[in-house]
Chain A
Amino acid sequence: MKLTVEGLNSHYGPAHILFDIGFEVGEGEVVALLGRNGAGKSTTFRSIVGLVAQRTGRITFEGKDVSARPTHEIVREGLGYVPEERRIFTDLTVDENLEVGRQPKRPNAPYWTREKLFTLFPNLGEMKGRPGGRMSGGEQQMLTIARTLMGNPSLVLLDEPSEGLSPKIVEQMVDAILTMKKEGVSIVVSEQNLHFARLISDRAYIIERGRICFGGTMAELDARPDIRDAHLSL
């Protein structure tokens, strides 16, 4: 397994957010984490990369237990994280944003150069010197993904990549994610949009109120309209 999450519990202060979350991602797989707003998708991702301080459970990445490691060490193992809300550095140019993400080449993961990323996201190549704050939402979303890829991750956590984007940009996003997959990057993508998830994912988990309540292939999910209707707003 590429990534295994077992018995993950997270708290924000006195509030218990995640309850025994468990899921796994195989080598080269694209797995969707589906759920409504506030179900715990982002917290799950933030917990995996160590951005939530109060968490217990076991997170195994490429056979190594990373549960107790600080964020930057987890990321340097090759576990990339693309946050929701984009969070690009608005004062920095596109080039500089990419520079922040740059990490050395990794033997077991595809190697991304700026040039390669500019072919994946042609818009970015045309605005290398533009400050991040003066880009459209779609361009910013592409930049966050490109920035994480600069770290040459072997697995990427993608938090709601289609959120707030126009249909045309969403299409580009689907292409980009499929290219990443083809290059050999494993991906966990959190989504509210089942349609978008279906275009890219091999399997899906559904999270509701901080608990995983379904796990299976996309076909298995389609065979259970009751689950789909109960836990996803369509």
Chain B
Amino acid sequence: MAFYVVQFLTGLASAASLFLVASGLSIIFGVTRIVNFAHGAFYMIGAYIAFTLTERFSGAFGFWGGVVVAALAVALIGVLVEMVLLRRIYHAPELFQLLGTFGLTLMVEDLVVLIWGPDDLVGRRAPGFKGAVDFFGQNIPSYDLFLIALGPVVLGILWLLFQRTRWGVLVRAATQDRDMVAALGVNQKWLFTSVFAVGVFLAALGGALQIPRDAVHHAMDLRIIVEVFVVVVIGGLGSIVGAFVAAVLVSELNAFGILIFPKISIILVFLVMAVVLIVRPWGLFGKPEAAARKTPGLTVNPWRPLTSNERLASLAALVIAATLPLFVGNYALTVGSEIAIFVIFAVSLHFLMSVGGLASFGHAAYFGLGAYGVAFLAKMAGLPMIVCLLLGPLLGCMGAAIFGFFAVQLSGVYFAMLTLAFAQIVWSIAFQWVSVTGGDNGILGVWPASWAASPSHFYWLALGVAALVTIALRIAVFSPFGYALRATRDSVLRSEAVGINAKRIQWTAFVIAGTTAGIGGALFAYLKGSVFPDNLGISLSVDALVMVLLGGVETVSGGVIGAIVYKALNIWLVSQTDLSKLVLGGFIVLIVVVFPKGIVGMLEMLAQRRRKSSPPGSSLLAKPIESAE
């Protein structure tokens, strides 16, 4: 019995840091509507700076002072980031801010290694809390007891801050209607900056307080950010009480899951999150989101099929790509195959995101399922490659059909979070079901048949499939199905009013996107000769998002261009520099600030400007539109 109590208390202690970080994320999202991917990075910097300060300055004052100063310093960095980066992109398309903060995360990951080295750093124990308390023969570190007490204290302080101060009232008002707050004479800029500073301070404090418990290392950002997303979604975006309750819930699930269901401990948390999202999409303590006020004038340029000249140009580009094996060596061809495969992957997510308006944060699940599908068929059933390639993606299709059915019941951020949860569930299964999937060791020896074994042949195969997939999805965009899908994206209500079954259309789109991603995954398995849980991991999902956003989410061909640029740059950087993440992250941030419409969006804008300069003002511009008030 005592053992379980101790386990419970350990869970509570873990909840403290999680709550700090999650409440920060929640507050920032509430006011700025930015899903701050860099929140984990701030948490990590907080831990690193606190480590340095507490090593340098001894004694109780050195430790506790170091923790607080570290959090303040990181908050200052947060202010700089907000003023230099985020202020420029508040009005960019939704999720674009996610790309910016992701770029920042990449940069930070390399920077901390540069400054503090790649090794794990073990911090000092907290003065005054070095011992352990005996509890019926079980030991509880006294620092854990301190953390357990800290959680509710911080919750209380935050509650007072938001309920009893003018700042808190303004923040809550801005959470609901930013423009109206400005129209009452409040300077939004500084309100946003201060909110961001408070959120970042909480994240950094969470990180700094972890150093007596855990080693500081350069991957702690990704680990916490996933957990924090889960906490925030379960608790309800924007609710601090929700963040607290959910942090406790998630930490206890982790603490007891490992005892009771050791086999599925990782899945447990995501399973709970999925159930919460399905039953109460806005979280335990959140409120159903009112339909966001659409800013007038922020319209997507109407899409059109390629003109015949553009078709010829695309064909020429394809032909040139196909002649590549005549000029380059095997390594370059392998890179080319990988890029082609990622074009398939990116195009499939682009279809879901841009055409369907459904931004999936877990698209790698279907890519990975396709890869595992091939691996099962090839290794267990021993089927020939061509059959595997045709049937393997069906596993991705099945996964998309099951998960997609639940996911399309939600929209916006909640849809993104549910897809993330599903992807993590699939990842956990692949990781933990060792007898079938090989767990972390993966499935090895998935080699292509002899007809596709040479790098040039495989390259042609990948290129051909990528071209076919891209053309097929483009045809779908301009088919009646594509029109219906775009209608549900622009207005679910209005599309349903004209007789479109919105959920079914979106579900179909989800399955199409999942199956297509599965095709990419199937090829990927043969390219690498092996399949690992990473093939359906979160970082691959994020890669796909970055590719789409980089190319331009409001364009038709953004997926293709984004995949080529991102993947080529990524592979090239890794070969050129040890600081590839820093450079890539910097590049992404630059793109976000300078070209907020993505690469293709920028090109389209340039083309339009050139076209516009010849006949001054089109007829559309001079026509008054009556009901625009």
- On A, residues with C-beta under 8 Å from B are 11-17, 19, 37-43, 49, 51, 53-54, 70-72, 75-76, 81, 83, 87, 89-92, 96-97, 99-103, 147-148, 151, 209-210
Say whether A38 contacts B629, CB under 8 Å.
yes
Q: A75 — nearest CB in chain B belongs to which residue?
A: B185
**Bound-state Cα–Cα, A173 to B203, Å:** 48
- Stretch of B92-100, B423-431, B480-488, B619-627 on the interface side: B619-627
In the complex, the 8 A-B pairs of residues with the closest C-beta atoms, listed nearest first: A13-B297, A75-B185, A12-B297, A12-B296, A15-B625, A71-B182, A38-B627, A100-B173
- Known pairs A83-B180, A102-B166, A147-B184; list 8 more (Cβ under 8 Å): A37-B627, A38-B627, A39-B629, A40-B629, A71-B183, A72-B183, A99-B169, A148-B184
| Nearest-Cβ distance from residue B242 to partner chain A, whole angstroms | 14
Q: Pick the contact of B622 from A16, A75, A83 — CB < 8 Å? A: A16
**B172 & A43 in contact (Cβ 8 Å cutoff):** no
In chain B, positions 160-217 with a C-beta closer than 8 Å to chain A are: 166, 169-170, 172-173, 175-177, 179-188
Residue of A nearest to B184 (CB): A101
CB of A210 to closest CB in B, whole Å: 5
Roughly how many angstroms separate A11 CA and B621 CA in the complex, as a whole number? Answer: 9
Smallest CB–CB gap between A142 and chain B, Å?
16
Q: Does B298 contact A (CB under 8 A)?
A: yes
Q: List 11 A-B contacts (CB under 8 A).
A: A14-B621, A16-B624, A16-B625, A38-B626, A39-B629, A91-B176, A91-B287, A96-B169, A99-B166, A100-B181, A151-B185
Which residues 51-109 of B sit at the A interface, judged by CB distance below 8 A? Answer: none
B613 within 8 A of A: no
Q: Which residues of A contact B188 (CB under 8 A)?
A: 72
Partner of B298, one of A13, A19, A96: A13
Q: Bound state CA distance, A41 and B628, in angstroms? A: 11
Question: Closest Cβ of chain A: how far from B202's Cβ, in Å?
Answer: 21
Inter-chain contact B180/A89, CB cutoff 8 Å? yes
The 0/1 profile, CB within 8 Å of A marked 1, for residues 553-596 of chain B is 00000000000000000000000000000000000000000000
In the complex, B614 has a CB within 8 A of chain A: no
Q: Determine the chain A residues whose CB is within 8 A of the CB of B450 once the complex forms.
A: none
Contact partners of A17 in chain B: CB under 8 A: 624-625, 628-629
A83 touches B297 (CB 8 A): no
- When A13-B297, A15-B628 are in contact, do A100 and B186 touch as well, CB less than 8 Å? yes
Closest A residue, CB atoms, query B170: A100
Contact residues in B for A54 (Cβ distance below 8 Å): 297
Mask of B125-156 contacts with A, CB within 8 angstroms, 1/0: 00000000000000000000000000000000
Query: What's the interface size class on B, roughly?
Result: 20 to 34
Q: Which residues of B contact A147 (CB under 8 A)?
A: 184
A38 partner residues in chain B, CB cutoff 8 A? 626-629
CA distance A160 to B112 in the complex (A): 56
- CB-CB under 8 A from A19, the residues of chain B are 624
Please indicate the chain B residues that have their CB under 8 angstroms from the CB of A97 in the complex: 173
CA distance A102 to B185 in the complex (A): 9
Q: Is B299 at the interface (CB under 8 A from chain A)?
A: yes
Contacting residues, chain A, for B166 (C-beta < 8 A): 99, 102
A22, B184: Cα distance in complex, Å: 24
Residue of B nearest to A17 (CB): B628
Cβ of A104 to closest chain B Cβ, rounded Å: 10
Closest residue of B by beta carbon distance from A54: B297
Distance in angstroms between the alpha carbons of A102 and B186 in the assembled complex = 9
Would you call A75 and B184 a contact (CB within 8 A)?
yes
B298 touches A87 (CB 8 A): no
Closest chain-A Cβ to B366's Cβ sits at a distance in Å of 35
Q: How far is the CA of A231 from the CA of B550 in the complex (A)?
A: 49
The answer to whether B183 touches A51, judged by C-beta atoms less than 8 angstroms apart, is: yes
Mark B602-629 against chain A: 1 for CB-CB distance below 8 A, else 0. 0000000000000000001111111111
CB distance from B181 to the nearest CB of A (A): 6
- Known contacts A43-B629, A75-B184, A75-B185: does B297 contact A100 (CB below 8 Å)? no
Given that A12-B296, A90-B176 are contacting pairs, would A75 and B624 also be in contact in the complex, using a CB cutoff of 8 Å?
no
Q: Which residues of chain B are within 8 angstroms of A148 by Cβ–Cβ distance?
A: 184
Say yes or no: B621 contacts A89, CB within 8 Å. no
Find the A residue at minimum CB distance from B186.
A72
Please determine whether B176 and A81 come into contact, CB atoms closer than 8 angstroms. no
| Chain B residues, CB < 8 A from A90 | 176
Q: Is the CB of A16 within 8 A of B176?
A: no
Decide if A92 touches B297 in the complex (CB within 8 Å).
no
Q: What's the least CB distance linking B530 to chain A, in Å?
A: 50
Query: Are A13 and B299 closer than 8 Å at their CB atoms?
Result: yes
Name the CB-closest residue of B to A41: B629
State the CA gap A70–B186 with chains docked (Å): 11
Query: In this complex, which of A11, A15, A40, A96 has the most chain B Cβ atoms within 10 angstroms of its Cβ?
Result: A15
Closest to B176 in A: A89
CB distance from B620 to the nearest CB of A (A): 6
- Shortest distance from the beta carbon of A24 to any chain B beta carbon, whole Å: 22
Q: Complex formed: what's the CA distance from A71 to B181 in Å? A: 10
Of B188, B621, B625, most buried by chain A (CB within 10 Å of CB) is B625
**A92 near B629: Cβ-Cβ < 8 Å:** no
Nearest A residue to B296, CB-CB:
A12
Which residues in A have their C-beta under 8 angstroms from that of B176?
89-92
Q: With A11-B297, A83-B180 in contact, is A92–B185 under 8 Å at CB?
A: no
Q: When the two chains form the complex, which single residue of B183, B287, B620, B626 contacts A49, counting CB atoms closer than 8 Å?
A: B183
Q: Which A residues are in CB contact (< 8 Å) with B299?
A: 13-14
Let me know if B296 and A89 touch, CB within 8 A: no
A209 touching B624, Cβ below 8 Å: yes
Interface centre among A37, A72, A90, A97 (most CB of B within 10 A): A72
Q: Are B172 and A42 in contact (CB under 8 A)?
A: no
List, in ascending order, chain A residues with CB within 8 A of B287's CB. Answer: 91
Residues of A within 8 A of B184 (CB): 75, 100-101, 147-148, 151
Distance in angstroms between the alpha carbons of A49 and B298 in the assembled complex: 20
Q: By the criterion CB–CB under 8 Å, are A92 and B169 in contact?
A: yes
Inter-subunit contact A75/B183 (CB<8 Å): yes
Which single residue of chain B is at the shortest CB-CB distance from A93? B169
| Complex Cα–Cα for A147 and B629 (A) | 24
Nearest residue in A to B191 (C-beta to C-beta)?
A72
| Least CB separation from A43: chain B residue | B629
